[in-house]
Structures are given as C-alpha cells and as structure tokens.
Amino acid sequence: MMHRILTTSLVGISLLILTTSNLVSTQNAQATTYGRRNPTDVILPDWQGRWNCNLDGRNAVLELRLGDLVRDHGDGTQSVVHGVKIVGRIRDNGGAWVPVEQRNFTPSDLASSRRDHMLPLRYNNQDNWMLMMHTWNRRYASGYTTWNGIPFGFQCQKS
C-alpha cells in the first residue's frame, strides 16, 4: 500500500499545526497522521512492536512503541506532539529491561541525504545506538550499539 494513514481522535483541541508527517496539538488533543510517498519509505509506526535481536552475539529482545513529545514553553503552557518519537526497552541476554528512546541525530552519526529508515537511539540515557530498517523488507533492521565509545554489531527481526 503506497499510503497508509493512521489517525486518532481529536479531543479538546485548542490549536493544530500541520507539519510534513504529523499533526502538532496543544492542550488535551491527540492527533497523529502518517503517510508513505514511496513503497520503500519508513514511517515511525513501522518501528513499533517486538523485535528479536542479536546484540554482538547475544540474544536480546527490543520492544518499541510510539511516544509523545511534551514541550514546555516557559510561560505556563505546554504543547504535546503525539506519536512523533520512538520509546521502548531492551532485554539483553535475559537480563533486566533497560530503557531506550529515540534521540536526535549527532554529527558523529552516518551522513545521509535520506534518514527516514534510520533510528538513532539512546540506551539507558547514556550510549548512542543506531538502527537502520531494511527498506525493502521492514521486518529487518541492522546497525550498531556502543559501549564506552566502541561500536558493536546489532541486528533485529520483527516478531
């Protein structure tokens, strides 16, 4: 399907601003819209779900979902952008669940004119990871993790 649109209901809207990939809302509004221009485009909902991963040779489970971004304007008001970042958790080799969340790209990330298939992650609020979804089969993603600044291989398959 070339275009897929997901929407949620709008409640208590005081302001809506249309952006390229979603709706920005304030107050109690809940609205998100996604679309694909090309068959190989990756959209945020593609990342959602449970992924079985190989983390430098160890089994790991990665669970991802859409999260909200809350901006405090410093004047007693806030705006909420719904479903515009990925949040989740990972369990490495049967250990404890550790939080992961989408981060901003940094100058040390791979340079690319196309980044829709790239998911920069922050592991446990400290290490930068990168996953790249395979655009012709969005059930697969590969990339790298870091530990003490050293990169290690990371590959996942959506279950």
pTM score, whole prediction: 0.75
Residues in the chain: 159
pLDDT value, residue 2: 33
Decide if pLDDT at 25 tops 70: no
Per-residue burial over 19-49, b if 16 or more Cβ lie within 10 Å, else e, is eeebbbbbeebbbbebebeeeebbbbebbee
> What's the mean pLDDT when you consider all of the chain?
82
Q: Domain limits of the chain?
A: 13-158
User: Any idea which residue has 């089969």 for tokens?
Assistant: 137
Q: So what's the pLDDT on residue 69?
A: 87
Tens-digit pLDDT profile for residues 104-142: 999 989 999 999 999 999 999 888 999 999 999 999 999
Q: What is the pLDDT of residues 57-87, one digit of tens each?
A: 999 999 999 999 888 999 999 999 888 899 9
Strands of the chain, DSSP E: 13-18, 23-27, 49-55, 58-72, 78-92, 97-102, 118-123, 127-133, 140-147, 150-158
Over residues 38-55, mean pLDDT:
95
Does 152 score more than 80 pLDDT?
yes
What is the per-residue pLDDT for 33? Answer: 56
pLDDT confidence band for 88 (50 / 70 / 90):
very high
